[in-house]
Amino acid sequence: MDNQMCVEFDSKSENEAFARIVAAAFVAKADPTLEEIDDIKTVVSEAVTNAIIHGYGEKGDQKVFMECSLNGKKIQISIMDKGVGIDNIEEARKPLYTTKPDVHRAGMGFTFMETLMDTLEIFSKPGEGTTVRMTKNIEG
Protein backbone atom coordinates (compact mmCIF):
# COMPACT_ATOMS: atom_id res chain seq x y z
CA MET A 1 0.00 0.00 0.00
CA ASP A 2 1.40 3.37 -1.03
CA ASN A 3 -0.60 5.57 1.31
CA GLN A 4 -3.52 5.49 3.71
CA MET A 5 -5.53 8.02 5.71
CA CYS A 6 -8.43 8.06 8.13
CA VAL A 7 -10.65 10.97 9.15
CA GLU A 8 -13.49 11.24 11.61
CA PHE A 9 -16.02 14.05 11.59
CA ASP A 10 -19.36 15.02 13.07
CA SER A 11 -22.48 13.80 11.30
CA LYS A 12 -23.43 17.29 10.11
CA SER A 13 -24.44 18.02 6.53
CA GLU A 14 -21.79 20.71 6.14
CA ASN A 15 -19.08 18.06 6.64
CA GLU A 16 -20.09 16.32 3.41
CA ALA A 17 -18.16 19.00 1.45
CA PHE A 18 -15.14 18.52 3.74
CA ALA A 19 -15.12 14.77 3.05
CA ARG A 20 -15.32 15.34 -0.73
CA ILE A 21 -12.35 17.69 -0.69
CA VAL A 22 -10.25 15.42 1.53
CA ALA A 23 -10.85 12.38 -0.71
CA ALA A 24 -10.12 14.37 -3.89
CA ALA A 25 -6.88 15.76 -2.42
CA PHE A 26 -5.82 12.31 -1.23
CA VAL A 27 -6.22 10.69 -4.65
CA ALA A 28 -4.34 13.50 -6.43
CA LYS A 29 -1.05 11.57 -6.16
CA ALA A 30 -2.45 9.00 -8.62
CA ASP A 31 -2.83 11.76 -11.26
CA PRO A 32 -6.56 11.25 -11.93
CA THR A 33 -8.47 12.96 -14.70
CA LEU A 34 -10.97 15.67 -13.80
CA GLU A 35 -13.76 13.19 -14.52
CA GLU A 36 -12.24 10.66 -12.10
CA ILE A 37 -11.95 13.33 -9.40
CA ASP A 38 -15.58 14.31 -9.98
CA ASP A 39 -16.62 10.65 -9.72
CA ILE A 40 -14.79 10.25 -6.42
CA LYS A 41 -16.25 13.46 -5.01
CA THR A 42 -19.74 12.35 -6.06
CA VAL A 43 -19.56 8.90 -4.46
CA VAL A 44 -18.06 10.28 -1.25
CA SER A 45 -20.85 12.84 -1.13
CA GLU A 46 -23.49 10.14 -1.59
CA ALA A 47 -21.99 7.80 1.01
CA VAL A 48 -21.49 10.52 3.62
CA THR A 49 -24.97 11.90 3.03
CA ASN A 50 -26.41 8.39 3.47
CA ALA A 51 -24.56 8.00 6.77
CA ILE A 52 -25.81 11.37 8.05
CA ILE A 53 -29.41 11.18 6.85
CA HIS A 54 -30.20 7.46 6.92
CA GLY A 55 -27.66 6.14 9.42
CA TYR A 56 -28.07 8.81 12.05
CA GLY A 57 -31.31 10.55 11.15
CA GLU A 58 -29.44 13.86 10.93
CA LYS A 59 -28.29 13.74 14.57
CA GLY A 60 -25.22 15.97 14.33
CA ASP A 61 -23.61 14.65 17.49
CA GLN A 62 -22.57 11.30 15.98
CA LYS A 63 -19.40 10.45 14.03
CA VAL A 64 -18.81 9.48 10.41
CA PHE A 65 -15.53 7.77 9.54
CA MET A 66 -13.74 7.84 6.20
CA GLU A 67 -10.74 5.72 5.28
CA CYS A 68 -8.90 5.99 1.98
CA SER A 69 -6.00 3.94 0.71
CA LEU A 70 -4.01 4.24 -2.46
CA ASN A 71 -2.11 1.32 -3.91
CA GLY A 72 -0.50 2.36 -7.16
CA LYS A 73 -3.42 3.70 -9.16
CA LYS A 74 -6.14 1.90 -7.20
CA ILE A 75 -8.04 3.87 -4.58
CA GLN A 76 -10.23 2.30 -1.94
CA ILE A 77 -12.65 4.47 0.00
CA SER A 78 -14.67 3.34 3.00
CA ILE A 79 -17.37 5.42 4.68
CA MET A 80 -18.62 4.09 8.02
CA ASP A 81 -21.27 4.99 10.55
CA LYS A 82 -22.48 3.41 13.77
CA GLY A 83 -26.10 4.25 13.07
CA VAL A 84 -29.28 2.26 12.57
CA GLY A 85 -27.91 -0.05 9.88
CA ILE A 86 -29.72 -1.39 6.83
CA ASP A 87 -32.34 -4.14 7.22
CA ASN A 88 -32.30 -5.26 3.57
CA ILE A 89 -29.18 -4.30 1.57
CA GLU A 90 -30.48 -5.70 -1.71
CA GLU A 91 -33.63 -3.62 -1.46
CA ALA A 92 -31.61 -0.52 -0.48
CA ARG A 93 -29.44 -0.95 -3.61
CA LYS A 94 -32.43 -0.70 -5.94
CA PRO A 95 -32.74 2.58 -7.86
CA LEU A 96 -35.25 5.01 -6.34
CA TYR A 97 -35.43 3.15 -3.00
CA THR A 98 -35.36 5.51 -0.02
CA THR A 99 -36.23 5.34 3.65
CA LYS A 100 -36.82 9.10 3.70
CA PRO A 101 -39.36 10.00 1.00
CA ASP A 102 -40.70 12.76 3.26
CA VAL A 103 -37.41 14.68 2.92
CA HIS A 104 -37.33 14.31 -0.87
CA ARG A 105 -34.53 11.78 -1.14
CA ALA A 106 -34.09 10.48 -4.70
CA GLY A 107 -32.96 6.98 -3.74
CA MET A 108 -30.07 6.96 -6.24
CA GLY A 109 -27.06 7.03 -3.88
CA PHE A 110 -26.03 3.38 -4.18
CA THR A 111 -26.81 3.41 -7.91
CA PHE A 112 -24.43 6.36 -8.42
CA MET A 113 -21.75 4.67 -6.31
CA GLU A 114 -22.04 1.44 -8.27
CA THR A 115 -22.02 3.23 -11.63
CA LEU A 116 -19.07 5.54 -10.94
CA MET A 117 -16.78 3.11 -9.11
CA ASP A 118 -15.29 -0.25 -10.13
CA THR A 119 -16.58 -2.04 -7.03
CA LEU A 120 -19.12 -1.32 -4.32
CA GLU A 121 -19.53 -3.39 -1.18
CA ILE A 122 -22.03 -2.66 1.56
CA PHE A 123 -21.73 -4.19 5.02
CA SER A 124 -24.45 -3.46 7.52
CA LYS A 125 -25.98 -4.80 10.67
CA PRO A 126 -29.23 -3.35 12.03
CA GLY A 127 -28.56 -1.37 15.19
CA GLU A 128 -24.77 -1.37 14.65
CA GLY A 129 -24.14 0.68 11.52
CA THR A 130 -23.04 0.50 7.91
CA THR A 131 -19.78 0.45 6.00
CA VAL A 132 -19.69 1.31 2.31
CA ARG A 133 -16.44 0.24 0.61
CA MET A 134 -15.68 1.37 -2.95
CA THR A 135 -12.70 0.95 -5.26
CA LYS A 136 -11.65 2.62 -8.46
CA ASN A 137 -8.67 2.12 -10.73
CA ILE A 138 -7.37 5.53 -11.71
CA GLU A 139 -6.64 5.56 -15.42
CA GLY A 140 -5.37 9.16 -15.42
For 27-70, write each residue's pLDDT tens digit: 999 999 999 999 999 999 999 999 998 899 878 799 999 999 99
Q: How far is residue 112's CA from residue 26's CA, in Å, rounded to a whole number?
A: 21
Of all residues in the chain, the percent with pLDDT exceeding 70 is 91
Q: Residue 64 belongs to a domain with what CATH number?
A: 3.30.565.10
pLDDT for 96 equals: 65
- Domain of 29? 3-137
Residues serving a catalytic function are 46, 50, 105
When divided into structural domains, the chain yields a total of: 1
Q: How far is residue 84's CA from residue 118's CA, in Å, rounded to a whole number?
A: 27
